[in-house]
Amino acid sequence: MVASIQDTDQRVTKVPSPVAVNGTANKKICVVVVSNDEQILARNLLSSNMIRDDLVDLRVITGAQSASIGYNKALDESQAEIVVFAHQDVYFPPGWERCLLDAIGEVERIDLNWALIAPIGISNSGELSGEVWSTSQGGKIGCKLDGPEVVQSVDELLIVLRRDSGIRFDNALPTFHLYGTDIVQSALSQNMGAFACQLPVVHNDRFHENLGPDFGLDYRFVRLKWLEKLPIRTTVLQVTRAGPGLFFYRLRAWWSRGKRGAISANSNADPRTFSASCGWEGN
C-alpha cells in the first residue's frame, strides 16, 4: 500500500533526522581520500562521474602519517553528514551517489542508529558480504546483497560513516591497515550498527605478493585492542588470539603467490572496462 503524503510526514516527524529522507542533496556527502600517487588517483577515483561532475564534495589528503590520522583530520574539516572514505584506487560506477542514498534508506528502515556502511565486509557467519570488482583478484568477489547485512569487519577500500554517530578512527592505529576492522568493532562496542550494502565499486588494486612489515604493526595493535572479541575475520585474514596467526598467514601467502599473481588483472587499465564487464556502467 502506498502511504499518503500525510502518513509519510507523520512518520518523518517521529524519526530523529534520518539521513536518506529528501535524499537528493548530494552535497551532504563528502568523499575523503588519502593519496600518495597522483596517477592512480586520477585514473580511478577522480575519473568517476560522481567526482568529475562535482555531485559530491571531495577532500584529498596527502602526506598523512597514518590512514586514521588523515581520515580524522578530514572528518573534522568537513561538515558533511555522510563521509565516504575511499582508497585512491577505487572507481565509482555512474549513479553511485544515488545507490548510496538508497542503501542508507534501507539501513535506516532497520537501524536509525547506524554508524557504518561498506560495499564489502565479513558477515557474522564469517562469509564475504557484498560485492566489488577486485583487480588483484582478477574479477568480481563476494555476491549480490538483497538488503543490508550486519558485519564484524569491513574492507578498507571503502567505508561510509554517518557523522552524527560520533564514531571515529583510532589515531593510535599505526599505519594504513585494518582500520576497517577497528572502526566496526568501535561502533559495535557502542551499540551502533555496521552493515554491508549493495554498493558496487571497482577496486583497481595492484597485486602484492605479500603483506609488508607495516601490516604486522596494525595486526598487533588490533589483536591487543580487541583481544576479548577475537577471533575476528577480516577480508584479508583472521585476527586470532593465538600469536602465530599472522606468521602462518604469511607462509600461506608466500606459497600461493604464483597462483594469485596469475589470476590478477592489470591495474593500469581503465577501471571503466572492469565496471562495464560487471554491468555497472549503465547503457
Q: Given the rule CB under 5 A, which residues bind Mn ion?
A: 87, 89, 205
In the beta sheet, which residues pair with residue 82?
A: 29, 162
Rg (CA), the chain: 19
Exposure class string for 254-269: b at 16+ Cβ within 10 A, else e: eeeeeebeeebbebee
CB-CB contact of 204 with 89 (8 Å)? yes
Q: Give the residue from 201, 97, 208 showing the smallest Cα distance to 140.
A: 201
Measured at CB, which residue is nearest to Mn ion? 87
Pairing of strands 149-154, 120-123: antiparallel
Q: Which is nearer to Mn ion, 108 or 205 (CB)?
A: 205
Q: What amino acid is encoded at 115 in this protein?
A: A
Q: What gap in Å lies between CA 158 and CA 99, rounded to an integer? A: 14
